A and B are shown apart, each in its own frame.
Chain A
Amino acid sequence: MINHKSASLSWKVVAGFWLLLVLLATLFQIRFLSVNGIHHDLTATRPKVVYEDVVAQATDRLSYLHDYRTIFMVGFPVSHAQDFESYVARINAKWSPPKPLESIQWEALDINDSLSYYRSISKSLMSMRDQLDAVNTTDEELLAKGVASLTTVGNNGYIAKVDDPLGFFARWVQKRIPKSTILTTGETLKLYADNYVWAMSFSQAPNDLKGVNPLAFIRSVEDLREIVQEINPEAQVLVRGQPYTSAVIATQNIHDLLAVLIILLIFFGFLAQRWTKSNVLPVLMLLCTVVGLIGAGCASIVFFKEFTLWTLTLGVSFVGICFMNVAYVSFIHHRHPTVSAQKCLEMALPVLCWITLIECISFGVIWFVPIPVWQEFSVFMISAVISCHITLIVCYPLSRIASDQQSFRNERIDHIGRYWPRLSLKRWQKTPFDVLGYTMITLFVISTGFYLLEADQARTQPTEIPLSLQLDSARVEQMLMLPSTQRFFMVSSGSVQETLMNEEALRMGFVQRRFSNMTTTCVSKWLPSNERADHVKKIREELFYRIQKPLNDILGYDIKPNMNTQPPINFDQWYNSNSSGPVRHLWLGEHHGRYSSIVQVAGISEPMIPQLKALGDALSGVIFIDTIETQNLALNDSRFFITGIYLLLVVTSITLSLFHYGLDSWRIVFPPLGGSLGMIAILSWFKIPFSLTSAIALVVVYGVGMSISLAYQTNRDYGAKNTILLFFSAVATLASFGIIGLVDAPFTKCFGLNCTVGILLTCCITFLFRQATQQNDKADWNPRD
Chain B
Amino acid sequence: MLLKKTFFLRCLFVVLIALMGTAYASVASDITRLATTDRVVRGTFKQSQYLLNVNKPFESTGNFIFWRNKAMLWRTLEPIRTTTVYNNQELSVYLYINGERIEQQANATTSLINRLLWNLMAGNVDVLSLDFQVLSKFDSTGWEFVLYPNSSVTNLLIKRMTVRGNSFAEEITVEYFSGDITLLELENVTFSDKSTSLEEAELDKP
Contacts and interface: CB of A to CB of B under 8 A. Distances in A.
Given A153-B74, A154-B84, A154-B111, A161 B52 contact: yes
B53 A154 contact: no
Nearest to B128: A82
Nearest to B98: A140
B153 A183 contact: yes
A143 B102 CA distance: 10
Contacts of B126: 81-82
A82 B124 CA distance: 9
Contacts of B129: 82, 85
Interface stretch (A109-117, A238-246, A272-280): A109-117
A156 interface: yes
Contacts of B74: 152-153
B173 to A, nearest CB: 14
Contacts of B52: 160-162
Interface in B107-134: 107-114, 117, 124, 126-127, 129-131
Contact of B178 (A145, A157, A554): A157
Contacts of A555: 58
A618 interface: no
A125 to B, nearest CB: 15
A177 interface: yes
Interface string B58-102: 101000000000000010100110101010000101010110101
A179 B153 CA distance: 10
A360 to B, nearest CB: 62
B152 interface: yes
A79 B47 CA distance: 30
Contact of B79 (A110, A177, A190, A554): A554
Interface residues of A, number: 50
Interface string A132-148: 00000000110111011
Nearest to A175: B107
A559 interface: yes
A455 interface: no
Contacts of B2: none
A644 interface: no
Interface in A386-425: none
Given A154-B86, A154-B114, A155-B111, A111 B127 contact: no
Interface stretch (B136-144, B154-162, B188-196, B198-206): B154-162
Interface residues of B, number: 55
A201 to B, nearest CB: 15
Interface of B: prevailing SS: mixed
Contacts, number: 144
Contacts of B113: 153-155
B58 to A, nearest CB: 5
A581 interface: no
Nearest to A143: B97
Interface in A63-99: 78-79, 81-82, 84-85
A516 interface: no
Interface string B148-179: 00111111110000000000000000001111
A162 B53 CA distance: 8
A174 B109 CA distance: 11
B55 interface: yes
A177 B178 contact: no
A221 to B, nearest CB: 26
A140 B97 contact: yes
B130 A190 contact: yes
B11 interface: no
A421 B156 CA distance: 84
A152 B91 CA distance: 11
B184 interface: yes
A342 to B, nearest CB: 81
A151 B95 contact: yes
B180 A160 contact: yes
A148 B127 contact: no
A160 B107 CA distance: 21
Contacts of B84: 152-154
A49 to B, nearest CB: 39
A673 B193 CA distance: 81
Given A153-B117, A154-B117, A157-B178, A112 B130 contact: no
B6 interface: no
Contact of A181 (B102, B127, B153, B184): B153
Contact of A157 (B117, B155, B176): B176
A155 B95 CA distance: 15
Contacts of B110: 156, 174, 177, 179-180
A197 interface: yes
B157 A147 contact: no
Given A153-B117, A162-B53, A111 B156 contact: yes
Nearest to A184: B151
A174 B110 CA distance: 8
Nearest to B184: A153
B37 interface: no
A154 B91 contact: yes
A677 B153 CA distance: 63
B60 to A, nearest CB: 5
A686 interface: no
A150 interface: yes
Contacts of B150: 184
A197 B51 CA distance: 34
B178 A159 contact: yes
Nearest to B86: A154
B156 A153 contact: no
A148 B97 CA distance: 11
Contacts of B197: none
Contact of B154 (A174, A182, A554): A182
Contacts of B1: none
Nearest to A79: B124
Contacts of B76: 151-152
Contacts of B104: 144-145, 148
A438 interface: no
Contacts of A147: 80, 82, 95, 97
B4 interface: no
A557 interface: yes
Contact of B152 (A78, A109, A557): A109
Given A112-B155, A161-B178, A182-B130, A156 B82 contact: no
Nearest to A173: B156
B110 to A, nearest CB: 6
B18 to A, nearest CB: 12
A76 to B, nearest CB: 11
Nearest to A82: B126
Contacts of B177: 112, 157-158
A432 interface: no
Interface string B5-41: 0000000000000000000000000000000000000
Interface string A457-499: 0000000000000000000000000000000000000000000
A161 B104 CA distance: 18
Contacts of A79: 124
B153 A182 contact: yes
Contacts of A110: 152
B117 to A, nearest CB: 7
Interface string A98-111: 00000000000111
Contacts of B109: 179-180, 192
A556 interface: yes
Nearest to A155: B111
Contact of B112 (A112, A156, A173): A156
Pick from B93, B109, B126 the residue with the most CB of A within 10 Å: B93
14 contacts: A110-B152, A112-B155, A140-B97, A140-B100, A148-B82, A151-B80, A152-B76, A153-B117, A154-B108, A155-B113, A161-B52, A182-B153, A555-B58, A557-B55
Given A150-B60, A157-B176, A190-B151, 8 more contacts: A82-B129, A111-B153, A111-B156, A155-B113, A160-B52, A161-B178, A179-B110, A192-B109
- In order of increasing CB-CB distance, the 8 nearest A-B pairs are A82-B126, A154-B114, A154-B111, A160-B52, A144-B102, A157-B176, A151-B82, A144-B95
